[in-house]
Amino acid sequence: MQRKELLLGQSEWMKESSDSAVVLSSRVRLARNLENTPFPHVLSPEQSHEVEEKIAKVIKGVTVEGEPLTYFSLPNLSAIEQQVLIEKHLISPGLVQSKGSRGVALSADHRISVMVNEEDHIRIQALLPGDQIRECYRLASLMDDSLEEHLDLAYQEAQGFLTACPTNVGTGMRASVMVHLPALVMTKQVQQILGSLTNLGLAVRGLYGEGSQAYGHLFQVSNQITLGQSEEDILTHLEAVTGQIVEHELHAREAMQHGAKLVLEDQVWRARGTLENARLLTSEDAMHLLSLDRMGVDMGLLPRMGKSFPTLLVDSLPGNLQYIQDQELDQGQRDEERARIIRNALSHKNLSDHKESD
């Protein structure tokens, strides 16, 4: 598979999921480090290169359920290609910003990605659509087992896996879900509900992690504690809290539909009309309108689009827009291209799913 074909391919997590209208995707990340080797931030350039070569060689020789991974050294990728990977949640901004030898390995469907020499020597990630946190853990564990067969990992019986950041010591696992909460935002309940999660040992971030804003009414919810908890503890706790968040969002949608039905219908239809007709759309406007549109689809008020909500979100972001066009675009050109892509997706909508509201 050619590099551009691999990077432009639809990530598995971006596919439409029928099991949840609220949980868009699930992710499990495992932090691992090599035994008797300094953490990446204190490696010399020579050591950094040696660590990358050692890990990359192993990754190139393993498979997950028979599927190989393709490895890229980050300096060999263009700035736009790196941005594409960030926008698809396949690498972190931290990997791009860090120094030294580093890279990423990807499976063909992007279910599995492995960052090398980010904050830790190895960051294994499994990313899937919908509410599939258990399946993510299974896939990440398979990759972890494959690497552990060939690499000595830093582990101590009392502490567990040793990591560069103390908050990851123990299981080294971060489990997270991306949730779509437009009704909680619109009814001004979101701060109260998500704000309480810190007391439950969970972190809430925006679409692209720490420090990012919750554009498109999208939030990431993940565990904060790894030491002293088993993987089963973390997964069970996240599943229970996610279920409560979903219930709150669905109740808020139901209340809006009963208490302010005409206002709700007006908002989602205005969003659809703008998306169908706009000639210029900023990233922020597109995410907000696509979010309202997705809520309208989920509530049976709008016909489904030809492309999934996550696919349209990602395809309309700056890196992917420019990579698809194979050229650098200024802001005005990106706004024009973004509007065109979304109009085109709406021209292929599936009207068979639509039932006109009374």
Q: What is the DSSP letter of 10?
A: P
Residues 6+ apart with CB under 8 A from 69: 59, 60, 62, 63, 105, 106, 107, 112, 114
Q: Are 19 and 167 in contact (CB under 8 A)?
A: no
- Can you give the pLDDT at residue 82? 97
Assess whether pLDDT exceeds 60 at residue 209: no
Overall residue count recorded for the chain in this entry? 358
What proportion of the chain, given as a percentage, has pLDDT over 70? 94
- Can you give the pLDDT at residue 18? 65
Q: How confident is the model at residue 210 (pLDDT cuts 50, 70, 90)?
A: very low
- Can you give the pLDDT at residue 6? 95
List the one residue out of 165, 162, 240 whose CA is nearest residue 201: 240
Q: What is the DSSP letter of 110?
A: S
Start and end residues for every CATH 3.30.590.10 domain found in the chain:
3-251
Assess whether pLDDT exceeds 80 at residue 94: yes
pLDDT in tens, 128-169: 999 999 999 999 999 999 999 999 999 998 888 999 888 888
Compute the distance between CA of residue 175 and CA of residue 97 in angstroms, rounded to an integer: 23
- Mean residue pLDDT of the chain comes to 91
Assess whether pLDDT exceeds 60 at residue 356: no
- Can you give the pLDDT at residue 211? 45
- In one letter, which amino acid is 339? A
Q: List the structure tokens of 287.
A: 């995410």
Cα–Cα distances (Å) from 175 to 59, 125, 162, 181, 186, in that order, read: 22, 10, 18, 19, 27
- Can you give the pLDDT at residue 352? 39
pLDDT in tens, 212-256: 456 789 999 999 877 778 999 999 999 999 999 999 999 999 999
Residue with tokens 């979903």: 246
- In one letter, which amino acid is 58? V
In CATH terms, the superfamily for domain 3-251 is Glutamine synthetase/guanido kinase, catalytic domain (3.30.590.10)
Q: What is the DSSP letter of 289?
A: H
